[in-house]
Amino acid sequence: MLKRAFDILASALALTILAPALLMLAVWIRLDSTGPVLFRQQRLGLRQTPFRVLKFRTMVARDPDAIDQHQEQVVSAGADPRITRAGRVLRATSLDELPQLWNILVGEMSCVGPRPVLPEQLEAIPADCRARFAVRPGLTGLAQVRGRRTLDWLEQLSADVEYVKRQSLWLDLGIVLRTVYVVLTAQGLYGDAGRNWRAYRGQGSVRE
C-alpha cells in the first residue's frame, strides 16, 4: 500500500510539473511527422494482465497491432529509417517514456519494477522467471540500471526476479537515483540484436 501511495503521489506530481514540457513535446512530434502523438501498445502487467502502455511516438506512424514482433528488426544505433527526427532525440533522452506516468497513476504500472513485456515475449520467459509478474511493471527497474539493452535477455529476466525477491522502498529509491545517471549518460540504449528475446523463443510455458 505504501508503494502504491508513493506511485500515485509521484506520478501525479510529475505530470503536474511536467505538463508544459509534455505539451511542447506533443506539438513537436505532431509538427515533425504525420501520425498520432502517442504510441499505444499492448503489454503484460501484474499477473500477466494486458494493458496499453503509452509512449511518445518515435517512429513513422504504424498500427501497433499490425506489427509482427517476431519479424520486427531491433532498433540499431545507426540511422534507422523507422525513427523520426524527433524520435531520435526522444529515444536518446528517454523522454518518449514519460507518458507512462499516466499508466502509473491509474495503477497499471509502478515507478519501479520489471519493464512491461509484449504478449509475444511470454514464450521466451522460462517458468522460473514468471515471478516477475508478481509485481506491477515499472517505468524503470533493476535491469535498466544494470545495462538496459546491453544485457542478455535472460540476464534481464534474472534481474527482474531478483527485484521481486528484494523489493523495498529503499531499493526503489536507489534504482530511481541510478536511473537518473543512466538516462543522463545514455547508457545501454542499444544492444546486441542477437541476444534479445527472439533468441529464446519457445523456452516459456503456456500462459497461466
Q: Decide: residue 166, CB within 10 A, 0-12 exposed, 13-18 middle, 19+ buried.
A: exposed
Tell me the pLDDT tens digit for each residue of 4-40: 999 999 999 999 999 999 999 999 999 999 999 999 9
Q: Which helix (H) or strand (E) holds 159?
A: helix 153-166
Residue 154 confidence (pLDDT) above 80: yes
The whole-number pLDDT of residue 204 equals: 62
* Distance between CA atoms of residues 136 and 3, nearest Å: 11
Confidence of residue 208 (pLDDT cuts 50, 70, 90): very low
Q: Which helix (H) or strand (E) holds 117?
A: none
What average pLDDT does this structure show over 74-98?
85
Nearest to 74, CA basis, from 167, 153, 21: 153
The whole-number pLDDT of residue 125 equals: 94
Which cell numbers hold the place of 78?
A: 545507426
The whole-number pLDDT of residue 203 equals: 67
Confidence of residue 191 (pLDDT cuts 50, 70, 90): low
